[in-house]
Amino acid sequence: MKFVLVEDQVMFRGLIRKLLMQECKGEILLETSTLAELRSKFDKVRAADLLLLDIHLPDGDGISIINELSAAMIDTPVLLFSSSAEDYIVDRVRRSSAQGFVHKEESEEVLLTAIQNVSAGSAYYSPRFVDRIKQLGNNPVSFDKILSKREQELLCYLGSGYSDVEVAAMTGSKAGTIQTHRRNIMNKVGVHSAQELQAYALRHGFTTVSKLQ
């Protein structure tokens, strides 16, 4: 088996490397901590049996690069992992073409099972992921039921602390339009200040502490 491993946390990357080389008797074609290096070596991904990909990386979002792989006609199975399992992250994983997801707090046995299943062509989602999907489905006011796709995209910026003018510049919109979206989002999620909106975005995975302005 041949693998590509993309993970910036040294300790967790070492655990995965051990599993791939010792338990799976595999070969690691590429090991990196950045999306930039991954993009420069898509040939390695194409030759691999499995791409193991962290979601939160120093230079970007692991889920977003899956579309780039598809555009490059690369059909290598993808196993995502993350220390986050907030609602927005879970929903994006579910809607992506990734074949699996493992939360970093799951056991080594769960991770090994995921590697074996996804590399063999099956899908595998860890227990934490499955539980969150069920919770989303049962929640009548979950974000995916009350916010439009555009509002979800904008909440990633607004929840990080960017102003209406800044978000407008980044998205090619007008500041007045962003202001209207901000007001609508706040009404829908039941918050009354920028601080409360930021707290909602953090709690549900639209932003991270490192992205806060």
Whether the predicted pLDDT of 211 surpasses 90? no
Residue 210 predicted with pLDDT over 80 = no
Q: Tell me the C-alpha distance between 200 and 99, whole Å.
A: 29
Angle at CA 144, nearest 5°, toward 148 and 187? 60
Please report the pLDDT score of residue 50 as a whole number. Answer: 96
Question: Could you tell me the CA-to-CA distances from 161 to 55, 156, 164, 181 in Å, in that order?
Answer: 21, 9, 9, 15
What pLDDT is attached to residue 127? 86
Q: Which helix (H) or strand (E) holds 200?
A: helix 194-204
Cβ atoms 74, 42 nearer than 8 A = yes
pLDDT in tens, 49-73: 999 999 999 998 899 999 999 999 9
Angle CA 121–27–21, to nearest 5: 95
**Average pLDDT score over residue span 182-210:** 91
In terms of phi and psi (left: phi > 0; alpha: psi -120 to 50; beta: otherwise), the region of 190 is left
- 3-state class of 108 per DSSP? helix
Query: Structurally, what CATH architecture does the domain formed by 143-211 represent?
Result: Orthogonal Bundle (1.10)
pLDDT value for 85: 81
* pLDDT value of residue 27: 95
pLDDT, averaged across the chain? 92
Fold of 2-137: Rossmann fold (3.40.50)
Query: Which of 29-33, 127-131, 161-165, 192-196 is least confident?
Result: 127-131
pLDDT at 2 over 90: yes
> What is the per-residue pLDDT across 3-55, written as a single tens digit (0 to 9) for each?
999 999 999 999 999 999 999 999 999 999 999 999 999 999 999 999 999 99
pLDDT at 118: 94
Residues with Cβ < 8 Å from 102, sequence gap 6 or more? 79, 80, 81, 110, 111, 114, 124, 126, 129
**Residue ranges, CATH 1.10.10.10, the chain:** 143-211
Instruction: Count the helix, strand and coil residues of the chain and give each as a percent rounded to the nearest 5.
Output: 55, 15, 30
At residue 87, what is the residue type? Answer: D
List, by residue range, all CATH 3.40.50.2300 domains of the chain.
Answer: 2-137
The residue written with tokens 């102003």 in the block is 163
Angle between helices 108-119 and 10-18 (to 10 degrees): 60
CA gap 122, 132 in Å, rounded: 21
- What are the distances in angstroms from CA 192 to CA 49, 66, 146? 49, 36, 17
pLDDT in tens, 112-154: 999 999 998 899 998 888 988 898 889 898 999 999 999 999 9
Specify the pLDDT at position 213.
73
